[in-house]
Structure 1
């Protein structure tokens, strides 16, 4: 199975397991910059050179050799499950993608037909009931994850622990897990002391949010989207994410972690 979703700098200074909707565009650009002294021109997910990726066949033996021997500092990044699933909805369901189309073609019409989700359009300035549509999307996301119906779960809303576990199960080990909410502090610890070809000043690194500007703005505070039933669904899908990465399930308004991540616990529970 190898190490899907894994990126590595060409200098092999850093290995990173991508988790969608958790600052992956910014992290990829930091890695690219640390090797080349410049940012990739475009969405880093589209790069085909300058950064080793498991999806690139020629990179696979290099990543596998490095990870098997744990030669480089290895990390991943996580985000509060409430804000992550909201971001997935506004980007992938309500938003227009970089190619000018809806995500996955007929997905939005299917959601409208089967779950009553409406998302508006650029023509009506995305005028729709965000809370109602998001809660219906949440039911759909639960169905894809629990029952694999009406489709397999998408990487953008499947649990972070699932992404992170494949790396462990196949023999990898993390040195650090960064919180998106404390991004600069976490990345500083990842980069500290590494022999980078080009030093990275995190205070000047822009945020590469490739989905921004392609869809509606969130109109309400995070907590307004989650009633008691929505919280129940979120816990059903993401209970391991809340527990392992120390997020507050009881209070959707609190996006910050509540304690330190125990890496030994993560490896023990996700390595089974």
Structure 2
């Protein structure tokens, strides 16, 4: 990605012009760091859509399929199952940074690009994050641990919840940041917002909304799965942690229609 953590003078100027001319970017950068904002944008020039990444909602599987579709018929030898192609700059959906003079998000919306994303029950999403990023990740260099308030991995799920509910959205890692903030709900007009709980159906519907014929939709794959099944939620949540999560992520529950009760 062309933009660095420490911006050059030219990059600062490009960003300033973008904020002046692109309301989507200006609003997002009030609550999301620049690096997170840029990392979460995937643009298909071939099919004219923008996918806004919302981690822990089946995004790895979806981005792999989108990369496969974008590469289809080309002479590229990129592997759409390779994590570097799915998530990082090697992705064919990362061909440019949406910062002036490149097309910005508002430019793309004005040109008729469609916007899509996915959401998930906040209780399940947080548990999936903990199990994937901390419970099963024993490496000494864990980038998610560095985004915790004390810069260290939590010892258990209760400690994880206690730590993150006190963070501001801007300071959170995208994996546990409010989904309302991640996808800029209410500020971006989406063609389709899929639900993780209905993944196999909404996976197909996402591509249909983008105008992809059923015969051309890539095969559904399940990548980066965690064991955050519905039947396990009661093993991790007690009344206190449930109340704390509901209070902190109330916007997500209300905006996406998820109830206070834990899924059965």
Task: State the TM-score, normalized to the length of structure 2.
Answer: 0.69
2:144 corresponds to 1:161:
no
1:191-215 per-residue CA deviation (whole Å, 9 max, x = no partner) reads: 227554995445x321121x76xxx
Tell me, in whole angstroms, the C-alpha distance in 1 between the residues paired with 2:211 and 2:152. 51
Contact 2:124 2:233 in 1 (8 A): yes
Q: Tell whether 2:253 aligns with 1:242.
A: yes
8 A contact 2:208–2:214 mirrored in 1: no
User: Do the aligned partners of residues 205 and 59 (structure 1) sit closer, same or farther apart at CA in structure 2, a change above 3 Å counting?
Assistant: farther
* Distance in 2 (alpha carbons) for counterparts of 1:218 and 1:157: 14
Alignment of 1:182 onto 2:198: yes
How far apart, in 1, do the equivalents of 2:159 and 2:128 lie?
Answer: 15
Indicate whether 1:231 and 2:254 are aligned.
no
Residue of structure 2 equivalent to 1:17: 52
Describe the superposition over 1:58-85 as per-residue Cα deviations: whole angstroms up to 9, x where unpaired: 995165422233x133211001101100
Counterpart position of 2:62: 27
Task: Compute the displacement of 1:142 (Å).
Answer: 0.6
Cα distance 1:231–1:49, how it changes in 2: closer, same or farther (>3 A)? Answer: closer
Cα distance, 1:108–1:135 mapped onto 2, change above 3 Å: same
SS of alignment partner, residue 32 of structure 1: helix
Q: d(CA) in 2 for partners of 1:157 and 1:12?
A: 30
Is the counterpart of residue 78 in structure 1 residue 119 in structure 2? yes
Alignment-derived partner of residue 141 in structure 2: 101
- Mapped pair 1:67 → 2:71: no
Q: 5 Å matches for 1:1-272?
A: 1=19, 2=25, 4=37, 5-37=40-72, 39-43=79-83, 44-52=86-94, 55=97, 60-61=102-103, 63-69=105-111, 71-96=112-137, 101-104=141-144, 110=150, 117-118=154-155, 133-145=156-168, 152-165=171-184, 168-169=186-187, 172-192=188-208, 194-196=210-212, 199-201=215-217, 204-209=219-224, 221-250=232-261, 252-254=262-264
Q: CA RMSD in A?
A: 3.5
Shift of 1:55: 4.9
Shift of 1:49: 4.4
Distance 1:187 1:59 in 2: 33
C-alpha displacement at 1:162, in angstroms?
0.9
Q: Distance in 2 between matches of 1:12 and 1:230?
A: 43
- Which whole-Å CA distance do the structure 2 matches of 1:240 and 1:193 have between them? 26
How far residue 185 of structure 1 moved from its aligned partner, in angstroms, is 1.4
CA contact 1:40–1:47 (8 Å) conserved in 2: no
Tell which deviates more after alignment, 84-93 or 99-108.
99-108
Instruction: Tell me, in whole angstroms, the C-alpha distance in 1 between the residues paired with 2:147 and 2:104.
Output: 36
Q: 1:7 to 1:108 in 2, by over 3 A?
A: closer
Partners of 2:209 and 2:194 lie apart in 1 by 17
Q: 1:189 to 1:91 in 2, by over 3 A?
A: same
Cα gap change, 1:58/1:183 in structure 2, threshold over 3 Å: closer, same or farther? farther
